[in-house]
Structure 1
């Protein structure tokens, strides 16, 4: 009887508390799903829960977006677990070293990485409420980390737009304005970057700040909530092939287990769903693959809807899909995920420990040589991932050469970067550094090559034996710059990396005049390559703060400068030669709006503001006809679709006139086609012979036939003319990431980077047989002179997703070195 009274008292207390805790609808003042919740209101609700249920909810602001919105992480569990939250985390992380004996399941739920896939943030509020009330039993042995909105800037952009243009209360007609978001959609973040493709590359502030906390927890299960097309049913795990080869049998099987649990609930409600299609687990920078490659069960859940759906929309078959429907589906899979994890806590911990045991990977060490700035850029990325690295010793390392594709020896020094797979993050190392990812299926959702030695332009080998290395630290003592003073004739700086370009950009912004040598020269026993920067006292004699400013900027960038006392060189061209030219402080315009791709536009915008730190004007296509482009030295056309119809004969005529008068046009990827033809510039689309031997293909095999003409993000080795200003800082070869089969003939002059006849096979990644034929002997980067100006063609995108580090200097050269 006494026990029964205690139980009744407990139930009464529980029910009383459950009544006190406000649901999202009660707190917000409207029924969840009847309108979209702005980010600040979502923050308010999570703060409310953390205040009222502080024994079971801890709220962490882990960062801010570019537009200063807070990024939140809610820790949700039982009162006892929250009280011991740090001890639980530490015990869990010991498992990565095979030392822990944890008993709790760790689940991380990530919502709204794509801003206009807006339902998941709404669903998160109902999910956390139910975890604290009706589903609190799941939390006895489980810690749930919830990020209610990974992309607040994009989400608020969408929500504000929708509230401006929706009918009252809403229209289900798919033709209505509220179902047709504009060019600057809410999908991406402030800089128009897709945050779901940035987990490995960490180019964006949201990703960088989030990963600091993700690496502290490395959850057993991670879910990335998404939306897809309006007419698609719900998608959940298991994923489609190809799976990356590092994914374990347990990780595969657990996806099936979770999927079957979801199916149980969906079947009971009569909801449609699909699995094992479209969304694969190969590319390592997704919200499902990255956690998986760190030992977890990473999954993508896709609800039909996205930015087109609004509050309600009529589907192709005449049904009405509402925001409430979409919330119910994501809410169901969220709770189902926690349920399965809670029931499987013991197994999850056992398998997580197994994942971190030493793996017998083919390559035991990766050894990289190259420019110090590039090495520093790579080690900065490695540190963000908690990847251990060290420095080589005098000797050599034998292994697969990324440059030649054969087994070769590489000389090692104390400046050689060495990364072993024998470390906690060894699986991730294998994935990010592997020369070629193994494909179980050539039909993939994203790029199929990303190897960091190619991306960073470093001379590398993958060794099958462990290479001796010293403990991580500075590869050498800090660079000693010149003693900058009034008595020095000039200072010479090398030109090898984006860091050098940032140094130049700062000088130009501070009105320091800088020259570039177009011929190599030797002075005082030291050889300086083409592209070297020359900063003379004479050029800056009217700048009273020259010495102070130069000293400050050189220190800021740790830029070594060679002080020289004469412009009379030992060999090459003297400083007064016509081959030593002043670098212009160019005024840059970037086209935005249709037909440019938002992603391609964002890559350029982010490059200028966050990487190069150089000013530009963003000019929209809607009003560009009213802009006087004679005020600008450079116009950039980012990649996109529809340029052909956008670039009318009159527009093209005006553009050619502007270039002829001294303007510099940088045309990227899809914009180049609009410059071809008799009314355009000199570039020509490569003509291919039509296949006259067509064979009948079965309908079921049409997708396989199409991929013969596809290049799904593959790496090719190209030929470079290092004497051209566009290629200053490069050697005679370059590894390019090719994203399609667009092919252009060689220019009459100015072929800077190109594929030769025998360079049409990828060194890594997938390229179909027909695509390989098409791209043989074609242009990658080139410059065409036109009147007093020039056109720079960038067929491949050196700024793709901001992670192809070795391509960025080409873009800086296009700005500052090409005339």
Structure 2
């Protein structure tokens, strides 16, 4: 009999390793019984977990079935993705807790309120645990493990699970990126063989551009927790603040040749605002993960990689809010099976590691429950105490020239439960004017004190020199706002502002002569495109002029003359102007006369006609997907400007004459062939405007499409007998430390240049995440935006690279034939929240054709 069982086991092992469907028992803990009334994943989706990649609709289908069959689970729809897929979570806890769930939630959230928390008895309170899976859509083992985890929590029976569910309220977020998940699962499933190919060259493992990692607009949603510019992020941040979890786990995948990582990461790479107790708790939780992975024989590592510095990542976002964030990284199969240096990585193996560490996390939260609750309470008490001692009592910010940028920044603060109020009365502080119409106050004496500090601080000194993500994100600089730290709290309106765009004004009576619109407002590009798209003849001022009210208009003011408007009549123009004022928050000035004896009369050649942009955005192989997505998102969602997404292979054979503007995001590669390059060159010579970013500038140079002089890379190091000497062991550390992963620099602006129309500050804060340095032009008129001699405002740059970045050009313009090539060394649309430089892109689009050839490099 024993031999028969042994043979059966041997045969089943052979079958399993030839990649038959993995049995549920492969994943689940031994010696635990399961409620037969709870449906297994296979009974709903038709296959075992790991045999195929779950699509998003199948995942939702299964979780709905669990919700209907289990009194431990309630399912909530929290929003919808860009592609209108539901964003859901499961609240999982004991049936007894479910009956009193809202009271338990309110009691738990009271831990963050120092006025209420002292009298709470944490010995009797459940902890709150947020499980987050697969914010990157192609890191699929997380979402598939989420289905297993939900089954286990619904069906497992025994004293251990009963105690865990009684003492922990679990928020299970099974898929943080539905659109990316769906894209990736479709790719690998339709390319799966009956016997999966583990060859890394197999098409299953070579997903087409842009891949499933990103959301609809090709954003990395794991960088969006702090600023929450996308619906997926806004939904999960709302849930985070609704519950204030004690622990948040963030399940990811990494390269196929890696094993499994869990935090803590490198100790020196924690943000200084994160308490040391947080690291201690993270380290204690690590022992639970180690034991769980030891039990199943999985290799792992910790404390050698990653960091907890940027608060915009899922595993770091909780650390500045009294919670503990935990990052998990699993070596990826990127399909169903793939060769690696550690043997073949199978999808079900990756799922099991994610599932096992989900359970070890729950065990850790359960065992450390009271300590986690006490830590959360103490965190907010300490924050209150620090705020009291802080000589800075409030921060005021605003933009006199643009109500909208300040409003959208206030909206981000409010989304993170930071109290922000309109300024009651206009005032001048340190030479900066803050008007009550466009300025806000943030008192520091509030629960989110530490999060506020992280958003407003300028930091240029660091314990470590290596960053997994950006090192500087001072948000008022990102928005191009004036701000000041105050030692007293100024008078303010105690009501939370309404976050709708304030309507613009119509100044002056209806006229039959002309209208003028300043371009300082954030949504002016949207207004301008509306006018051009409806056939309105529009001009732009290249010189200042005066209005009859005494107002002085600067370069870059939009003029709409009413004579010779052959495509629209006066009533249609009036309708458009009313819509612009109402929807875009833009002021419209009526002009009754064109005479200006002190400036420029309205019939002057200083007003140049604008053309309607016909835009192609180059995408595809070789293009950095996130950079392309940021441009697409800005034009599509903010400005409603249509854009053709032109893949590199289509570019090579397409007729480009239908476009007058082509944007090339950061690009390096060979997918644009010689025919494509010649087409682009001829197209520019015939009057097109080519706009390139970051690596694309070098590509443009190397292919004869532009003349941008780049700084040469010079090695600076210790020398002995003219030979560079460095320890072998420092290779990785030295190399990584040279990366400028994301810092903020000050640039000097030429406000008379068309690329700077709409700006009114002589300096602009720009974001830089590369080591691309452009020399200033020898033409004195061709340097519209140049970094200053001491440009670093916030973030890290190495001592080797800092001299290289000083006095370099942010943008250059080259004339070729009748066209223009505009090259930016920086990303001006960074992650959708760098509002302060968005207009550099739209200015290049609208005003590129009018840039004088005399200002070319």
TM-score (norm 2): 0.88
Q: Distance in 1 between matches of 2:509 and 2:486?
A: 47
Structure 1 residues 633-669: Cα deviation after superposition (integer angstroms, max 9, x where no partner): 0000011332xx4455554333222111110000111
Cα pair 1:708 1:770 within 8 Å, conserved = no
Question: Hey, what does 2:55 align to over in structure 1?
Answer: 38
Displacement after TM superposition at 1:96 (Å): 1.6
Counterpart pick for 2:592 among 565, 590, 597: 565
Question: Hey, what does 1:3 align to over in structure 2?
Answer: none
Counterpart pick for 1:52 among 69, 83, 88: 69
Displacement after TM superposition at 1:561 (Å): 1.3
Q: Distance in 2 between matches of 1:774 and 1:650?
A: 35
Matches within 5 A, 1:353-502: 353-357=377-381, 358-361=384-387, 362=390, 363-370=392-399, 371=401, 372-392=403-423, 410=432, 412-415=434-437, 416-436=439-459, 439-463=462-486, 466-473=489-496, 481-482=505-506, 487-502=511-526
Report which stretch shifted further, 683-692 or 440-449: 683-692
Matched, 1:340 2:364: yes
Q: Distance in 1 between matches of 2:166 and 2:457?
A: 41
* SS of equivalent to 1:818: helix
Cα pair 1:254 1:297 within 8 Å, conserved = yes
Question: Hey, what does 2:17 align to over in structure 1?
Answer: none
Counterpart pick for 1:141 among 147, 151, 167: 167
Cα pair 2:513 2:561 within 8 Å, conserved = yes
- Stretches of structure 1 that go unaligned for 5 or more consecutive residues are 1-14, 399-407
* SS of equivalent to 1:145: strand
Displacement after TM superposition at 1:169 (Å): 3.0
Displacement after TM superposition at 1:542 (Å): 4.4
Q: Distance in 2 between matches of 1:268 and 1:16?
A: 19
Counterpart pick for 2:728 among 699, 706, 718: 699
Structure 1 residues 602-660: Cα deviation after superposition (integer angstroms, max 9, x where no partner): 11111111111101111111121221111110000011332xx4455554333222111
Report which stretch shifted further, 484-493 or 720-729: 484-493
* SS of equivalent to 1:498: coil
Cα pair 2:787 2:810 within 8 Å, conserved = no
Structure 1 residues 26-82: Cα deviation after superposition (integer angstroms, max 9, x where no partner): 3323221111111111101110011011x2211111111122211111110000111
Q: Distance in 1 between matches of 2:565 and 2:433?
A: 42
Matches within 5 A, 1:630-645: 630-642=657-669, 645=670
Matched, 1:672 2:700: no
Matched, 1:21 2:48: no
Matched, 1:127 2:168: no
Counterpart pick for 1:736 among 749, 766, 783: 766
Question: Hey, what does 2:10 align to over in structure 1?
Answer: none
Q: Distance in 2 between matches of 1:462 and 1:509?
A: 43
Question: Hey, what does 1:61 align to over in structure 2?
Answer: 77
Structure 1 residues 115-170: Cα deviation after superposition (integer angstroms, max 9, x where no partner): 00001111111111112232343110111001111111111111111122222231
Cα pair 1:238 1:256 within 8 Å, conserved = yes
Displacement after TM superposition at 1:483 (Å): 6.6
Matched, 1:786 2:786: no
Counterpart pick for 1:602 among 629, 632, 644: 629
Matches within 5 A, 1:132-531: 132-134=154-156, 135-240=161-266, 241-305=268-332, 308-317=333-342, 319-357=343-381, 358-361=384-387, 362=390, 363-370=392-399, 371=401, 372-392=403-423, 410=432, 412-415=434-437, 416-436=439-459, 439-463=462-486, 466-473=489-496, 481-482=505-506, 487-524=511-548, 525-531=550-556
Q: Distance in 2 between matches of 1:171 and 1:74?
A: 35
1:537/1:411 CA distance change after superposition, 3 Å: closer
* SS of equivalent to 1:115: coil
CA RMSD, Structure 1 to Structure 2 (Å)? 2.4
Structure 1 residues 575-594: Cα deviation after superposition (integer angstroms, max 9, x where no partner): 11111122211100011101
* SS of equivalent to 1:273: coil
Cα pair 2:425 2:491 within 8 Å, conserved = no
* SS of equivalent to 2:471: coil
Report which stretch shifted further, 264-273 or 33-42: 264-273
Displacement after TM superposition at 1:467 (Å): 4.7
Displacement after TM superposition at 1:478 (Å): 5.4
1:301/1:708 CA distance change after superposition, 3 Å: closer
Cα pair 1:58 1:74 within 8 Å, conserved = yes
Cα pair 2:224 2:233 within 8 Å, conserved = yes
* SS of equivalent to 1:613: coil
* SS of equivalent to 1:181: coil
Cα pair 1:754 1:777 within 8 Å, conserved = no
Cα pair 1:485 1:547 within 8 Å, conserved = no
Matched, 1:72 2:72: no
Report which stretch shifted further, 768-777 or 790-799: 768-777
Q: Distance in 2 between matches of 1:681 and 1:40?
A: 48
Cα pair 1:434 1:451 within 8 Å, conserved = yes
Q: Distance in 2 between matches of 1:697 and 1:620?
A: 44
Cα pair 1:174 1:313 within 8 Å, conserved = yes
Q: Distance in 2 between matches of 1:715 and 1:434?
A: 12
Q: Distance in 1 between matches of 2:219 and 2:314?
A: 14
1:708/1:21 CA distance change after superposition, 3 Å: closer
1:395/1:172 CA distance change after superposition, 3 Å: closer
1:413/1:609 CA distance change after superposition, 3 Å: closer
Report which stretch shifted further, 35-44 or 677-686: 677-686
1:683/1:493 CA distance change after superposition, 3 Å: same
1:277/1:571 CA distance change after superposition, 3 Å: farther
Cα pair 1:652 1:675 within 8 Å, conserved = no
Counterpart pick for 1:88 among 85, 88, 104: 104
Number of aligned residues: 790
* SS of equivalent to 2:87: strand
Report which stretch shifted further, 113-122 or 780-789: 780-789
Q: Distance in 2 between matches of 1:397 and 1:359?
A: 30
Matched, 1:817 2:847: yes
Cα pair 2:503 2:582 within 8 Å, conserved = no
Q: Distance in 1 between matches of 2:242 and 2:788?
A: 49
Cα pair 1:244 1:439 within 8 Å, conserved = no
Question: Hey, what does 2:134 align to over in structure 1?
Answer: 112
Displacement after TM superposition at 1:690 (Å): 5.4
1:486/1:213 CA distance change after superposition, 3 Å: same
Cα pair 1:518 1:580 within 8 Å, conserved = yes
1:153/1:624 CA distance change after superposition, 3 Å: same
Cα pair 2:504 2:584 within 8 Å, conserved = no
Cα pair 1:715 1:764 within 8 Å, conserved = yes
Structure 1 residues 244-297: Cα deviation after superposition (integer angstroms, max 9, x where no partner): 112112211110111011111112222111111222111111001112222211
Displacement after TM superposition at 1:688 (Å): 4.7
Cα pair 1:393 1:412 within 8 Å, conserved = no
* SS of equivalent to 1:50: helix
Question: Hey, what does 1:685 align to over in structure 2?
Answer: 710
Displacement after TM superposition at 1:437 (Å): 6.3
Counterpart pick for 1:626 among 628, 646, 653: 653
TM-score (norm 1): 0.92
Structure 1 residues 218-260: Cα deviation after superposition (integer angstroms, max 9, x where no partner): 2111011100011111111212231111211221111011101
* SS of equivalent to 1:516: strand
